[in-house]
Amino acid sequence: MTAAPMSQTAPPAAPRVRPAAAMRLLRLELRRNVMLWMLPAVLALFWLITYRPAMAHPPLWNIRAMMMQTNASAVFVPTVVGAAAWLGSREARNGMTDLLAGTSRPRWARQLAGWAATTCWALLAYAGCVAALYTVTAQQGAWGGPLWWPVAVGAAGLPAFSALGFAAGALRPSRFTAPLTAVGAFLALELSAQFIHGDDSAWQISPLVAGPWELGADQGVATFYRYLPDLPIAQLMFLGGLTAALLGILGLPVGSGGRRLRRGAAALTTVGLLAAVAATALAGTGRLDPHGMIAIPTLHRVGNDRAVPYTPVCGTTSIPVCLHPAYSTYLPTVTAALEPVLRELADLPGAPARIDQAAAIYRQDPNNGVIISREGPAAIGTPPTLRVLLPFQSGRSMTAAELGSALRADTGRDIVNWVLNIGRDGVSEAQLAVAEAVLATSTLPAGTPAATAAARFAALPSDRRHAWLTEHIAALRAGQVTLDELP
């Protein structure tokens, strides 16, 4: 008697995930997702860390959009990573790994549904935050249109944060994984910016970075010239690759699914890692362009270097002062601070017919700083239009009182120095004395002949000073007037 041959049966095919079943699983995850209960905390943190500081600045799209990208990342990283890590460790924490292994859906599919639900709730909260900030900014009369590249980078970071948390929770399940991962991810993100040195640092790939890190949210960036998409494109590529790699890692363990599924997960991980590495390398080739943005040669388009056309807004001062319309909220402060000086200089031979706000030029400093200077010549045309940088273009935030003081001390002095030709062909004591009297300052050493002459000239009635300047301005500009000749 011979034994009957055993039948050769093929291994069972991996279950196919149907779209309808996947949507039912996603809806179930959306209803019981812990990220839903985190939304009030997210909105409160956004209001405290992002919205309030942004509203403290003038209504400028560049300032508020760049601040939103930087600060919103700090808001969403700990919350999204923590929620995703808690969900990623759910099966192991509840002792359900073996029980769920016999279900019709692969483990990877269940994990992707949990990740997608967490990401959806995070994106919904982010969209609401962006809508609130941008709506208020538009209602406040911000010039130009909103910047969407910072919004896109912030949105692309949420799937990556969620994938990071899920991978950590699934691979190292513990009740401590969620808080430790959330805190670790937040610290790692914040510390990444501290490694940025110069404009060619690969660390600029961090989603915290919306422009040159040394400038912060500088008001001159993306105002006179377009916002360059070079760095945001590299960041989107990096975040997309990081998301793919982390989700692929979830599908690599043996229990995640069949062999075919794991091969697909391995391919996804490889492609994601290659994309992230390539994006980081691209960010390392970025250079600070003259207009204050990071230009990456491989991604840069020459058309983005064109200036944005605008019609200036001008104040009613003795010599008209004209600003870029994005800075129109500053116009009352500028005109009030400069009018006393402009009144002294109006109608003098060689005085400017108008004063225009100039664009800034940015240059990397060897000591990891940025040097800001005026773009183009100091004066153009006949009669001359004087072009000046204003204090709020220096990259620092100022109160109204600080701005008025800086306008009188810096911008006013620049205007007087140009009219009196101070510094271009040397300087005479008479020029310094007249400048001191016109500016109504006391920076000359007390008791010196120049300080005495300045006080004597400042004591004259304004009409007498103006008449004397009209008659002697040419000789004064040439350095041919002595202190004794001052009235």
Vertex 417 angle, CA 414 and 421, to 5°: 140
Largest pairwise CA distance in the chain: 137
Strands, DSSP E only, in 161-225? none
Angstrom distance (rounded) from CA 347 to CA 318: 9
Residues 107 and 265: beta-carbon distance below 8 Å: no
Tell me which residue of 214, 211, 192, 202 sits closest to 238, measured CA to CA: 202
Tell me which residue of 237, 239, 245, 244 sits closest to 298, measured CA to CA: 237
Vertex 43 angle, CA 38 and 44, to 5°: 100
Tell me which residue of 321, 326, 314 sits closest to 219, measured CA to CA: 326
Q: Which residue do the tokens 């991962």 mark?
A: 181
CB atoms within 10 A of CB 425: 10
Residue 64's H or E segment, with its range, is helix 61-88
Q: Which residues contact 269 (CB under 8 A, 6 or more apart)?
A: 244, 245, 248, 249, 252
Give Rg (Cα) of the chain: 31
Please give the pLDDT value at position 88: 82
Q: How far is CA 272 from CA 81, 239, 240, 252, 276, in A?
A: 19, 9, 7, 14, 6
Please give the pLDDT value at position 280: 94
Residue segments in the chain with a per-residue pLDDT below the cut of 50: 1-14, 98-100, 102
Vertex 452 angle, CA 447 and 458, to 5°: 140
Angstrom distance (rounded) from CA 479 to CA 95: 90
CB atoms within 10 A of CB 418: 22
| pTM of the predicted model as reported, rounded to 2 decimal places | 0.85
- Helices (H) and strands (E) in the chain — how many of each? 17, 9
Q: Which residues contact 10 (CB under 8 A, 6 or more apart)?
A: none
Please give the pLDDT value at position 316: 87
Token pair for residue 230? Answer: 């070079």
